[in-house]
Amino acid sequence: MALDHDSVIPIASDADVVIARQLARAMAARLELSSTDQTLLATAISEVARNITTYAQRGEVQLSVIHDDGGRRGIRVIALDEGPGIENVELALRDGYSSGTGLGLGLPGARRLVDDFNIETAPGRGTKVTLVIWERNARVA
């Protein structure tokens, strides 16, 4: 998988979440992803970035344009923090479960919004959530 460009957005406040959303939307627009996919991407970023501000206080969101072996382009989002980690990932990925005061829709919601979803976490070791949205129609050269 080849990489085109990266942006790293430090996340420590809701204002940073907005910046990450805006940069991702702009990146998706440059790739000519549909407005629906731009919205899905921005919403998924909101979910994972707000988890950073809620549970870890600070972290970062990394945005990258990627290509698969077939030439299809996409945007990869990595939300990374060094917070408390997630004790039970299976439980955290269930709709309605929240270890805080939220509605429990963040991680399961983000997972439904994107094409690829991966989470790496351990209690006391932080969390890394990787999301990918691929373009719907591969370009023919």
What secondary structure letter does DSSP report for 121?
E
Q: What predicted TM-score, i.e. pTM, was given to this entire model?
A: 0.86
Cα–Cα dist 8/33, whole Å = 21
The residue among 2, 108, 7 whose CA lies nearest residue 51 is 108
**Under 8 Å between Cβ of 11 and 59:** yes
Q: Tell me the pLDDT band of 103, cut-offs 50, 70 and 90.
A: very low
Enumerate the domain spans of the chain.
2-134
Note the residue count of the chain: 141
Q: Tell me the pLDDT band of 136, cut-offs 50, 70 and 90.
A: confident
- The yes or no reply on domain 2-134 and CATH 3.40.50.1260 is no
**Under 8 Å between Cβ of 83 and 109:** no
Which of 30-34, 58-62, 69-73, 96-100 is predicted least confidently? 96-100
